[in-house]
Amino acid sequence: MLARLVLKRGAKHEGESPFWISFSDLMSALMVLFLVVMAVTLVSVTQSIDAATRANIERTAAISHLMQMIAQDPKSTGVGVDQQNFRIDLGKEVRFDSGSYTISLTAGQFLRSYIPVLLRAKDTEEGRRWMRSVVIEGFTDEDGTYLYNLQLSLDRSRSVVCSLFQSSGSTDGLTAEQLRKVQELFLVGGYSFNSIKMDKAESRRVEFKIDFWGLDEKVPKANDVLKGKEFGRC
């Protein structure tokens, strides 16, 4: 009888199995590595977002505390402190006659007694970090031209600053140190009649606008440019 030859085709498959197993393990390892990298990236991004959110919350809380400190000061009685928009309307304490930028005697006395409220806020740890400047903004009623009133509103802002430097040995005058801080902190601006009120007398006013540093802004280092510089006269 003739012997039958039987071919075992499975032999080739069995020889190739280790290759396919290794490739499968490699793909699984790459998938795991990808998932690990993604997880680490997500954690890093989440921590970064959390840090930025926390910093923003801390800044907002610090500014809110500063505005609350100003609003609750006894000197702020009768003064409109807008804690949301960082504005201080001096109310009836500082008003101007039509076409005039002259500060009255009583208004000057009030200003020299009120400015230390803002300087004390600036001298706090939160104030040194976040308070950039205090802008004195002048306003007018609608009488007259735009450019005329723009100049008038600027003159009114400037008159407020000038009144702070009028000591003449009076008991209500600011100290030299306080005046140095005014020189560094206060700016002037004018709005013409772009922000009038229903009452003309109320429109002829000045307001303080407190500006704060942004979250990513760094407070510049102090320099000696203004040190020893004379104040001058208005």
Q: How confident is the prediction for the chain on average, in pLDDT?
A: 82
* Residues in Cβ contact with 63 at an 8 Å cutoff, skipping those fewer than 6 apart: 86, 126, 130, 212
The pLDDT, as a whole number, for residue 74 is: 93
What pLDDT does residue 73 have? 94
pLDDT above 60 for 40: yes
Residues 6+ apart with CB under 8 A from 180: 226
Residue ranges per domain, the chain?
Answer: 53-212
Mean pLDDT along residues 50-62? 87
Instruction: Tell me the per-residue pLDDT of 170-210, one tens digit each, with 9 for 90 and over.
Output: 567 899 899 999 999 999 998 877 777 778 888 888 999 99
pLDDT for 44 equals: 64
Higher pLDDT, 169 or 129: 129
H or E element in which residue 81 lies: strand 80-82
- Measure the CA dihedral 208/214/217/223, to 10°: 10
Write out pLDDT tens, residues 80-129.
899 999 999 988 889 999 999 999 999 999 999 999 999 999 999 999 99
Share of residues in the chain with pLDDT > 70 (%) = 77
Give the β-pairing of 131-138 and 87-89: unpaired
- Average pLDDT value for residue range 166-173: 66
Query: How many CB atoms are located within 10 Å of the residue 52 CB?
Result: 12
Looking at per-residue pLDDT, the higher value among 47 and 178 belongs to: 178
| pTM given for the model | 0.73
Q: What is the pLDDT of residue 197?
A: 77
**Per-residue model confidence (pLDDT) at position 107:** 92
95-99, 153-157, 166-170, 220-224 — which is least confidently predicted? 166-170
Share of the chain residues as helix, strand and coil, in percent rounded to the nearest 5 = 55, 10, 35
Domain covering 53-212, topology:
60s Ribosomal Protein L30; Chain: A; (3.30.1330)
CB 176 within 8 A of CB 190: no
When pLDDT is cut at 50, 70 and 90, the band that residue 1 belongs to is very low
For the residues 162-172, what does the mean pLDDT come to?
74
Q: Give me the amino acid identity at 84.
A: Q
Query: What tokens appear for 85 in the block?
Result: 């928009």
Average pLDDT over every residue of 208-219: 91
- Residue 63: the pLDDT is 95
pLDDT surpassing 60 at residue 9: no
